[in-house]
Structure 1
Amino acid sequence: MAEEALVAPGNKEVVRRVELTQAELIRLQYQALQQFPKEKRWPFTSGVTTVGVNAGFVGLIANSMFRRVLQVTQARVLSALPMFLIPAVTASAAWQAFVAQSMLAGNLNCPVCAQVRGASINVLAGFINPVCLAIPMVGGLARRYYTAVLPKGNDFWEFWLKTSRPVVWRMLPALLLQAAWGAMLASKEFDLYLKISKHGFIVLEDGQTLSKDS
């Protein structure tokens, strides 16, 4: 439960305090967010979409590079669809849970912490996850279509480390872009979060909210 002050319009004094669950607090923050112009609230409304799309494209790039290394030319669409959709959904969910909603719930109140977490989540869910997902995906296709001999036992890990190293190095620009975009988006969301917090809101009987400046 989180204690939240309810502020009357045009009055900076606290009217009363109520106990809010984290889910209720996030919902009220999102309702308060709707009072801002569309062009100003995009970090929370559209930012998560960019995170998902970027992760999906990283998945496609990783899929393409591993296919080239293992000489897999079959099932292009079959491997491309999950390599875009799974990273996109995973990255979007991770961003919502660990960055956006955590911030709106008041659990992420440090601007530097927000940037570090945003960069970390975007790298983990938007780069490392797609690359790791491409390995079994393309490896399974290579084994199925006999385009490469995949070792077993102790040589298995050595083979994939040797195969993955040049792919990761070539994808280093994507890694840096994901880190930079995660930090930038988290910074934008944090700035907007501060504006929402300063704006204030009250809870009406019908569940709507009003800013304290209304």
Structure 2
Amino acid sequence: MRWKFWKESLTEETRQTEFFKPGAVYHTSDKSSLPSNAVRLSPAQLSIMEYEVAKNWKNKREIFSYLYAPQMCGSISAATGLVFTNHLRQSLKLSRYGVGRLSTYASGVFIPFALTGLTYHRFVSQRQNVSDKCQLCAINRGVAIQLLNGFLQPMILTTTACFAVAKAYKTIALPAFWDLRKQSSIVTKIFKSARLQIGAALLLNVGFAVFFTIRQREGYLLIKEEILKRYSIKSSNI
């Protein structure tokens, strides 16, 4: 994690003298207005300040989404992949014969969980906490990431993995891989029988992405306000 890395890479003396000294911390877009004793904060240093405040926060529920939004969005992706994987395994009779568990669940559950968390942290959390002033932009990015990595990706990866395992173990009669018309007909029939689950998964992915992005922004604003008070920062433009 960025907090742990930067926290451990700096000594206590460095942290105290560089940017934790009250009354000598400024943040402004106009560099010419900075006094001679001003300390320039990099995004990494600002992240350390956020960590120092967040780790001692009394009510962790207030900043839960700020700390764990990427993990929560990744969990929603994993749950969606689990639903798709179970449905496909039953439809292709993989569960009956108990084959291909590792390959199907790894592609449908673990990969979406990891990629959703990483991309959300990189393109939503980091930008929103440092430079992004547009909350609607952050919400749009969060929803796009969730739909891509939390909905479409599990559907595609799980379908590919389950069909490959079913073809290898001959659990049901399947057309050749190059016969795309028959393949698409079978896929459509399988997912049509689970349209309610798919619709619910789609709505949940969108809803949770919006919720956690908004709550993460609210948590950041609380931490920002505390930083302004604690370290006597001369500008509120963080």
Q: Which runs of 5+ in 1 are unaligned?
A: 203-209
Query: Which residue of 1 is the match for residue 128 of structure 2?
Result: 103
Q: CA distance change for structure 1 residues 148 and 91 in 2, over 3 Å: closer, same or farther?
A: farther
Decide which structure has greater strand share.
Answer: 1
Query: Quick check: 1:199–1:212 contact (8 Å CA) kept in 2?
Result: no
Out of 184-193 and 30-39, give the one that drifted further: 30-39
For 2:45 and 2:78, locate their aligned partners in 1 and report how far apart those are by CA, in whole Å: 31
For 2:151 and 2:177, locate their aligned partners in 1 and report how far apart those are by CA, in whole Å: 27
Q: What is the RMSD computed on CA atoms of the aligned residues?
A: 3.1
Q: CA distance change for structure 1 residues 47 and 137 in 2, over 3 Å: closer, same or farther?
A: same
Structure-2-length-normalised TM-score: 0.70
Q: Which runs of 5+ in 2 are unaligned?
A: 1-18, 28-33, 234-238
For 1:167 and 1:89, locate their aligned partners in 2 and report how far apart those are by CA, in whole Å: 28
Which one of the candidate residues 22, 26, 31 is aligned to 2:43?
Answer: 22
For 1:118 and 1:187, locate their aligned partners in 2 and report how far apart those are by CA, in whole Å: 10
2:94 is the counterpart of 1:80: no
- Percent identity, aligned pairs only? 20
Query: Which residue of 2 is the match for residue 50 of structure 1?
Result: 72
Which one of the candidate residues 52, 69, 87 is aligned to 1:31?
Answer: 52
Structure-1-length-normalised TM-score: 0.77
Query: Which residue of 2 is the match for residue 66 of structure 1?
Result: 88
Which one of the candidate residues 166, 169, 172 is aligned to 2:192?
Answer: 166
For 2:86 and 2:221, locate their aligned partners in 1 and report how far apart those are by CA, in whole Å: 41
Query: Quick check: 1:51–1:122 contact (8 Å CA) kept in 2?
Result: yes
Q: Which amino acid aligns with 1:63?
A: T
Q: Considering only CA atoms, is the larger Rg found in Structure 1 or Structure 2?
A: 2
Give the number of aligned pairs.
199
Instruction: Tell me the CA shift for residue 197 of structure 1.
Output: 2.6
Query: Quick check: 2:107–2:154 contact (8 Å CA) kept in 1?
Result: no
